[in-house]
Structure 1
Amino acid sequence: MNTLKQQINLLFLALSFFSRLPVPKTLKYSPQLLNQSGRYFSLVGVIIALLLLAFYSVVELFLPTSIAVIILMIASLLLTGAFHEDGLADMADGIGGGLTVSKRLAIMKDSRLGTYGTVTLVSALGLKYLLLVELAQLQLLISSILVAYGLSRAVAASLIYEMHYVSDNETSKSKPLAMQQTLKELYLLLFIGALPLVLLPSHTIIITIFLLMVFRFAFKYWLNKRIGGYTGDCLGAAQQLTELLIYLVILANSPGALL
């Protein structure tokens, strides 16, 4: 995969999997190509962020900030198909409601939404709304979304490199899924995801990286204890939780946070 055309195909493949953005009908697909497209998952997040921010910059000209943020969140859900939010809810249902590994995995694959998933999803969306409104009022929303959308996907997808994929049900909605990752692909994934960090103050960058490393270690340990690895739903949950953590860190370290 050394030519520009082949790399563009991988990017479009990643876009087709993680968003509802249109891609060329001539797109080439295979399980091997899907695995290789993982290197661009964080770039997909940056692309989605840029589209959302362009849309938000127009909406906020005509509507109050609180309403503009709600519309931004709805647009994000439409662009991604609520892909990651669905994973968060399913993981909460599975791990919260199952007493054994097999039961937890079975619940995750169930399309119905349970109490744990509902409470987790509502809490996550409510917290995200409040954080984005606060960040918008501090003129930090643009940089925060650019950082969070790319970096959160990088952290989530990086789990593929060193964790075991535990779901083997061919009817699972998490398939197809990139389940292999080389060290070079991991480095590229993280490099692209970390690039927007230059928009933040140096002390915020250091704190963000440190806390994300702590979160990744703790989340990986927790998943291994609960289900012996990861599923596609767990990666979606990791993305959502990482995104929220990034917003919290940026807000907590902003000059006007205590005002």
Structure 2
Amino acid sequence: MKKERDIFFTCLMFYTRIPCPKNIDHNPEYLNKATRYFPLIGWIVGSISFLTFYVFSLFLSIEIAVIFAIIASILTTGAFHEDGFADVCDGFGGGWTKEKILLIMKDSAIGAYGAIGVVLLFLLKFKLLSEAVLLFKSEDSTAILFTYLLFISAHSISRLAAISIIFTHEYSRDDATSKSKPIAKKHTWKEVSGAFFFGLLPLIALCFFQYKILFALIPVFITRYFLARHFQKWIGGYTGDCLGATQQVCEVVYYVSLLFLWKFI
């Protein structure tokens, strides 16, 4: 039990800025096993984002509350995944060989592709999330629960889509000093089953409101498939930045899917 607790806190330390016990470090063995809890981190980030949204929505407009919710999620993770998305935009936008793409992604400076990509990403998140929180129109606690599950399911499903890439593809970088290298080792059924359990549970709960929401998994994992295939084609696998980009893109696709399903099915 103590080991599982330490694995969870290792995951929390690696993927967020939330303070953890002093005895927790980036133990490579625990980082490898921590993949089972990555979607659970989505529950935490989604909960913080929802709480921020709910508090601000009591006094301000939905749109402003959504902006603060997005800011809260960024502060919680330290823009960990957004940074990966920007690096992937720069790397694949400006590189034409594996070596060049990896070199650009390793650069801490943001380029034109990354800046444009992040701006468009946040515009989409803002507009889509603003409309998504209005899907279940009710003034009682049921609507609050629906909105809460909407927030955490978006973060857990997108993280499941991202982390599942490490179960099916190889890590691309040969640099052993890469901070994402420890999570790229072989995984057991515990990592796979844990990731899918924590990744799918909020969505399953959300389906009690509307069963058709379950179909949002299809476009999310289709997106995940094509992203992974693109990474494989150009760099022979994935990097930590690729996982971050996948999480961000799949989160947006999830919101789009919910709105589409709600309107047309």
TM-score normalised over the length of structure 1? 0.91
Question: C-alpha displacement at 1:46, in angstroms?
Answer: 0.7
Q: Tell whether the 8 Å contact from 1:144 to 1:247 is kept in structure 2 after alignment.
A: no
State the partner residue of 2:142: none
Question: C-alpha displacement at 1:169, in angstroms?
Answer: 3.2
State the partner residue of 1:56: 53
Find the partner of 1:179 among 175, 184, 202: 184
User: Is 1:37 aligned with 2:45?
Assistant: no
* CA–CA distance in structure 2, aligned partners of residues 175 and 231 of structure 1: 7
* CA–CA distance in structure 2, aligned partners of residues 114 and 252 of structure 1: 33
* CA–CA distance in structure 2, aligned partners of residues 167 and 95 of structure 1: 15
Question: C-alpha displacement at 1:29, in angstroms?
Answer: 4.2
User: Is 1:147 aligned with 2:156?
Assistant: no
Give 1:203's aligned amino acid: K
Range moving further from structure 2, 128-137 or 50-59: 50-59
Q: Tell whether the 8 Å contact from 2:48 to 2:73 is kept in structure 1 after alignment.
A: no
User: Is 1:74 aligned with 2:71?
Assistant: yes
Give 2:159's aligned amino acid: R
Structure 1 unaligned residues grouped into runs of 5+: none
Question: C-alpha displacement at 1:69, in angstroms?
Answer: 0.7
* CA–CA distance in structure 2, aligned partners of residues 89 and 177 of structure 1: 22
State the partner residue of 2:169: 163
Q: Tell whether the 8 Å contact from 1:20 to 1:80 is kept in structure 2 after alignment.
A: yes
State the partner residue of 2:135: 138
Find the partner of 1:8 among 5, 10, 16: 5
Question: C-alpha displacement at 1:176, in angstroms?
Answer: 5.5
Question: C-alpha displacement at 1:167, in angstroms?
Answer: 1.6
* CA–CA distance in structure 2, aligned partners of residues 85 and 19 of structure 1: 12
* CA–CA distance in structure 2, aligned partners of residues 221 and 72 of structure 1: 32
3-state SS of paired residue (1:137): coil
Question: C-alpha displacement at 1:163, in angstroms?
Answer: 1.0
State the partner residue of 2:139: none
Query: Residues 126 and 17 of structure 1: is their aligned pair in 2 closer, same or farther, counting only changes over 3 Å?
Result: same
State the partner residue of 2:231: 223
Q: Tell whether the 8 Å contact from 2:14 to 2:26 is kept in structure 1 after alignment.
A: no
State the partner residue of 2:213: 204
Structure 2 unaligned residues grouped into runs of 5+: 137-145
3-state SS of paired residue (1:230): coil
Identity %: 39
What are the superposed Cα offsets for residues 31-84 of structure 1, whole Å, 9 maximum, x if unpaired?
A: 111101111000011112112212221111111111111111111110010000
State the partner residue of 1:253: 261
Find the partner of 1:106 among 100, 103, 106: 103
TM-score normalised over the length of structure 2? 0.89
Question: C-alpha displacement at 1:153, in angstroms?
Answer: 0.7
Q: Tell whether the 8 Å contact from 1:9 to 1:28 is kept in structure 2 after alignment.
A: no
Question: C-alpha displacement at 1:202, in angstroms?
Answer: 1.8
State the partner residue of 1:234: 242
* CA–CA distance in structure 1, aligned partners of residues 253 and 120 of structure 2: 14
Question: C-alpha displacement at 1:122, in angstroms?
Answer: 0.8
The alignment yields a C-alpha RMSD, in angstroms, of 1.6
What are the superposed Cα offsets for residues 114-158 of structure 1, whole Å, 9 maximum, x if unpaired?
A: 111111111111100000111123346433211111111111011
Q: Tell whether the 8 Å contact from 1:144 to 1:250 is kept in structure 2 after alignment.
A: no
Aligned length: 251
* CA–CA distance in structure 1, aligned partners of residues 225 and 180 of structure 2: 25
